[in-house]
Chains A and B, each alone.
Chain A
Amino acid sequence: AQSVTQLGSHVSVSEGALVLLRCNYSSSVPPYLFWYVQYPNQGLQLLLKYTTGATLVKGINGFEAEFKKSETSFHLTKPSAHMSDAAEYFCAVSPPSGTYKYIFGTGTRLKVLA
């Protein structure tokens, strides 16, 4: 069975500081991995995804994530936080094919301090 763990339900960073949101997964096969962002009163928007190939994935709004198979991790980073990055971030995993199911983490709420 697959599972996703997001360490830290709340993360605060200063504007301009590095953003690091952690995601670890458990899967018997190499999964597809996703990061979504949710702004208040909105649905989820895809930030980036890893399927195959290059393990460093770049997404929208300056975010990137690195798939590390040995660590079963897919942490999300951004070099310099902006006030507009304040939102909730969700990591999700799905098997590579043959199913429609995502398993979501519990989310990390990012607060950016002026």
Chain B
Amino acid sequence: ETGVTQTPRHLVMGMTNKKSLKCEQHLGHNAMYWYKQSAKKPLELMFVYNFKEQTENNSVPSRFSPECPNSSHLFLHLHTLQPEDSALYLCASSQVSGGTNEQFFGPGTRLTVL
């Protein structure tokens, strides 16, 4: 595997389900990000992890719970979601020290909440 991978690519869940999204980066980066991409809206930064520590939480509802066990893996745990949470969830990674912070994106998980 190369770059940034995300699983699953598609997910359909009911409002009472619990599921998790997984992201893995194979680039040796030290920062990872979760973004939400909804139709007709700008990309929304949700969470940032730098060296496994959460450094940003953009007022994301608690039904979204991130986890970063190491610099290569990032999870987004989902529970009791709402239909308006349906979106494309993108993971990205970057090397933030001494570089341009160029972010590399995964292919995304298309989430549908019924």
Which of chain B's residues 80-114 have a Cβ closer than 8 Å to chain A?
90, 92, 94, 96, 100-108, 110
Does A90 count as interface, using CB distance less than 8 angstroms?
A: yes
In the complex, how many residues of chain B place their beta carbon closer than 8 angstroms to a beta carbon of chain A? 27
Contact A43 B102 (CB under 8 A): no
Question: What residues of B have a CB within 8 angstroms of the CB of A25 in the complex?
Answer: none
Docked-complex contact B41 and A100, CB < 8 angstroms = no
| A90 contacts across to B, CB distance below 8 A | 43
B102 A100 Cβ-Cβ under 8 A: no
A43 to B37, CA, bound (A): 10
How close is A47's CB to chain B, nearest CB, in angstroms? 11
Decide: A94 and B101 in contact? CB cutoff 8 A.
Answer: yes
Residue from B40, B56, B100 with most neighbouring chain A CB atoms (10 Å): B100
B95 to chain A, nearest CB (A): 10
Query: Distance (Å) between the CB of B40 and the closest chain A CB?
Result: 8
Residues of A within 8 A of B (CB): 32, 34, 36, 41-46, 49, 51, 90, 94, 100-102, 104-107
